[in-house]
Each structure stands twice: as structure tokens, then as C-alpha cells.
């Protein structure tokens, strides 16, 4: 879903992606967190990204713990 | 290979040796992330593998083999760093970082209004990919393609599980620089996995 023209949405996907990544490394401010939530509410593309970034973390954990299945 | 009898202690040992060897690539990446030097990493991994083979009888099988090997490797890395520090004074090297504008490849992922240039689609059954050996090979190739500093920072953060504060100290970079590098690395990896694995899967 494109967020063009959506009211009250001020983050671009590029900015949202940055926050999605950084929330894995630091606590977001309240404003950042609110803006990100608003963006995700209206942007399917970034919801996909959010899921995939979460998967990337699971993948890295699995890679560290046992590696590929035998 | 493979035809060995599991009950024969000698065959069992041989199989375990082969399995230890299969973790070499992972161990090399781990050591390279820590030491930033491929040759030194190779040396440390050799030491760790030898120590592992010597002590293989103490491997209980309680933890995953990779976890056990990693703990040996960590000791060898610390040992190596101590030796190097005592041999020559620690010289500070210029950090290999980039805090300036986003690089072109990263900018190209977005259009001029900051939307995704190529819209990300959902991945079908990502957890199924975790059960496939080939998928991990793709993941390793994708990590290898990252710029060296970004690859190292990603590996430390996500694979080794180190806090960003500690990574900053090790890499002599600022926290915001670290976050930016991690972000670019994640986005690049996502894109690489998407292109080399998930897009093909959806079609099949």
C-alpha cells in the first residue's frame, strides 16, 4: 500500500525502515515509536519488511547456535 | 563416508571429525569478525580445530557441536589477542566507517519520495527455509557480499549477540554510526535473501 496523501503520516518508507532496524538496537523515543506505528498501520510494504527483519534475526541466531540442518 | 558403523568407536570418531570440519566456514567468519584479519583468523581457527579434535572425547553432545566449537574458538581468540598485544604495542587504526550520506546502492532501493523502489512482497514459509542447508549457504554468500565493516558489525551484533555499545568500542565508532551500518547491512541482506531465495520459491 502506498502512503501518498495519507493524512497524518509523515514518515517515508526509508525513514520507517531505519526505525524498524534501530528498534533492534536501541529503545525508540515515544515520538519515533508512535510515528512508526502509524506508518506500519497504513503501509503493507513496510509490514513485510518488519517481518523479514525479524526473521533475519532468527536466522542469525539459528546460524550461531547450530548452523544448517544436517 | 557415511557408510561407517555408528557403533564402532573409530567410525564414530571419524564422523565427528568430518562434522567438526563442516563448521570451519562459520568459525572463520566468526574469527574474522573479531580479528579483522583473514590470515590471523585462519591461524586461530586452525588452533581451535586442533584443540577441538584433541578434546573431542570431552564433547558430551549436550550442546550443539557448533556451540561447543565456538566456545573453544573464543578462548583461542582471546589467547591470540593477548599474545599479539604483548608482542607489539597496540596501534590505533583508522576506523573503516562511513557516517556520511547513504551509499548509492542503498539510495537506489528507494525512489525520490522515500518509497521502496521495488515493493517488498511477503515471503512464503520463511521458517521452512531454516530447515534447508542450501538456504544457509545463500545466507553466507549474502553476508560475504556486504562491505567488510558492515559485514563485521552485522556478524558481531546478530550472530555473536554483542551489545552495540561494546561493538562501538571494539570498532572505535559512534553509536549512531553503528546503527546506520547495521541498518544498511540488514536491508542489504534482506534484499539478497529475497532475490536469491524467496522470489524463486514463491514461483515454484
* B98-155: pLDDT as tens digits: 555 788 888 888 998 899 988 999 998 999 999 999 999 999 999 999 988 899 999 9
CB proximity B125 to A under 8 Å: no
Q: Would the pTM count as exceeding 0.80?
A: no
Q: Residue B101 is placed in which grid cell?
A: 550520506
Using the Cβ of A29 and the Cβ atoms of chain B, whether some distance falls under 8 Å is answered with no
Q: Which contacts qualify for A46-49: CB closer than 8 Å, 24 or more apart? A: A46/A13, A46/A16, A46/A17, A46/A20, A46/B120, A48/B120, A48/B121, A48/B122, A48/B123, A49/A13, A49/A17, A49/A20, A49/B116, A49/B120, A49/B190
A66 to chain B, closest Cα gap in Å: 5
Residue B147 in contact with residue B181, Cβ under 8 Å? Answer: no
* pLDDT at position A38: 93
Q: Is the pLDDT of residue B160 over 90?
A: yes
Question: DSSP assignment of B171-187, as one string?
Answer: HT--HHHHHHHHHHHHH
| Closest-CA distance of chain B to residue A55, Å | 7
CA B127 – CA A61 distance, rounded (Å)? 13
Residue in B122, B183, B194 closest to A21 by CB: B183
Tell me, yes or no, if B59 comes closer than 8 A to chain A by beta carbon: no
Q: Which residue has the cell 583461542?
A: B76
> Which of A17, A57, A69 lies closest to B158 in CB terms?
A57
Touching check for A56 and chain B: CB below 8 Å?
yes
Q: What is the mean pLDDT of residues B27-31?
A: 95
Q: Is the distance from CB of A13 to CB of A43 less than 8 angstroms? A: yes
Amino acid at each position: 500500500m502506498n502512503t501518498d496523501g495519507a493524512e497524518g503520516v509523515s514518515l517515508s518508507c526509508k525513514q520507517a525502515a531505519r526505525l524498524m532496524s534501530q528498534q533492534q538496537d536501541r529503545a525508540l523515543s515515544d515520538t519515533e515509536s508512535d510515528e512508526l506505528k502509524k506508518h506500519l498501520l497504513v503501509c503493507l510494504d513496510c509490514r513485510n519488511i518488519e517481518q523479514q527483519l525479524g526473521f533475519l534475526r532468527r536466522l542469525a541466531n539459528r546460524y550461531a547456535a547450530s548452523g544448517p540442518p544436517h | 563416508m557415511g557408510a561407517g558403523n555408528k557403533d564402532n568407536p573409530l567410525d564414530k570418531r571419524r564422523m565427528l571429525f568430518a562434522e567438526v570440519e563442516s563448521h570451519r566456514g562459520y568459525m572463520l567468519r566468526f574469527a574474522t569478525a573479531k580479528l579483522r584479519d583473514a590470515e590471523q583468523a585462519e591461524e586461530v581457527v586452525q588452533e581451535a580445530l586442533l584443540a577441538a579434535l584433541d578434546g573431542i572425547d570431552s564433547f558430551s553432545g549436550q550442546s550443539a557441536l557448533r556451540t561447543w566449537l565456538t566456545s573453544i574458538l573464543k578462548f583461542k581468540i582471546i589467547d591470540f589477542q593477548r599474545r599479539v598485544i604483548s608482542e607489539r604495542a597496540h596501534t590505533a587504526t583508522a576506523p573503516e566507517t562511513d557516517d556520511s550520506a547513504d551509499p548509492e546502492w542503498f539510495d537506489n532501493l528507494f525512489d525520490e519520495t522515500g518509497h521502496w523502489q521495488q515493493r517488498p512482497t511477503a515471503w512464503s514459509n520463511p521458517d521452512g527455509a531454516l530447515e534447508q542447508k542450501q538456504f544457509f549457504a545463500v545466507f553466507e554468500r549474502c553476508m560475504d557480499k556486504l562491505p567488510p565493516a558492515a559485514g563485521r558489525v552485522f556478524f558481531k551484533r546478530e550472530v555473536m549477540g554483542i551489545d552495540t555499545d561494546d561493538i562501538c568500542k571494539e570498532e572505535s565508532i559512534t553509536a549512531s554510526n553503528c546503527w546506520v551500518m547495521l541498518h544498511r547491512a540488514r536491508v542489504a541482506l534482506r534484499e539478497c535473501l529475497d532475490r536469491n531465495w524467496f522470489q524463486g520459491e514463491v514461483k515454484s
